[in-house]
Amino acid sequence: MRSILVVITLLTLSTSTVQGATAKTKTQKKANMAAPTTFYDPEGVNRPIGLGLAIVVVPSGKTGRAECKFNAGYENAVIIYSDEPTPVELMRCGNISNNNRKTPLQMPAGTYYVTAWHKDAYLGDSDITQHRWTTSKTLVESLNPTGRRVRVEDGTDNDFNDVVVTIPFSPVP
Ligand SMILES: [Ca+2]
Ligand SMILES: [Ca+2]
């Protein structure tokens, strides 16, 4: 009898844990749903963003500083947007130098949309301007001691280093 009671208690405990996890997932989904589903590519064409979007939140009391590095054979660009109802471009970096604007970016506390793009064409291709932009894949890592690193994949080797956006957080002075 005692063992049955223990089992029931465990079941109750695990149910409440699952409910907690579900609530958290819903909150996360709600936050992501607030993000736009399309963004302007580097040539100003509005496109579905899909996995090309990474959301970075700079916590209150901190400020971020975003810088890009590239390790890619294709043309790549990252554009960081504000989270206003109509997102505003704050910074742009690319491995073709005329793409670099307002970098590095100082990021006061708030939410930022980091969008990643590439062209399916090698950097040396003479017809590179004829290729259209498409989204890359992004993933977000935590930086030690504090900050975020957005890693970008433009192809299929999954090295996720085609662009690396490093955003250390430091205390507001
Ligand atoms: Ca790659
Ligand atoms: Ca690479």
Domain ranges of the chain: 1-34, 38-171
Ligand nearest to the CA of 136: 1
DSSP H helices, the chain, are 2-34
Ligand nearest to the CA of 155: 1
* 66 C-alpha to ligand 1 centroid (Å): 21
| Weakest mean pLDDT among 4-13, 102-111, 125-134, 164-173 | 4-13
Across residues 132-142, what is the average pLDDT?
97
Across residues 77-90, what is the average pLDDT?
96
CA-based torsion, 21, 48, 35, 83: positive or negative: positive
Radius of gyration for the chain, computed over Cα atoms and rounded to the nearest angstrom:
20
Q: Is the predicted pLDDT of residue 102 greater than 80, yes or no?
A: yes
pLDDT of residue 11: 40
DSSP structural state of residue 101:
B
| Three-point CA angle 145, 108, 150, nearest 5° | 50
Question: Which amino acid is located at 163 in the chain?
Answer: V
Question: Which amino acid is located at 12 in the chain?
Answer: T
- Residues 136, 76 contacting (CB under 8 angstroms): yes
Q: Is the predicted pLDDT of residue 72 greater than 80, yes or no?
A: yes
Residue with tokens 């302007």: 40
Ligand nearest to the CA of 164: 2
Please, which residues have CB less than 5 A from ligand 2, an ion? 71, 159, 161-162
| Residue 121 pLDDT grade (very low, low, confident, very high; cuts 50, 70, 90) | confident
Across residues 103-123, what is the average pLDDT?
95
pLDDT of residue 19: 40
- Cα 154 from Cα 108, distance rounded (Å): 29
Ligand nearest to the CA of 72: 2
Where does 38-171 sit in CATH, by number?
A: 2.60.120
| Residue 33 pLDDT grade (very low, low, confident, very high; cuts 50, 70, 90) | low
On whether the pTM is more than 0.85, the answer is no
Q: Is the predicted pLDDT of residue 36 greater than 70, yes or no?
A: yes
Across residues 10-35, what is the average pLDDT?
46
- Cα 85 from Cα 36, distance rounded (Å): 8
Q: In whole angstroms, how far apart are CA 89 and each of 40, 41, 47, 92? A: 9, 11, 15, 8
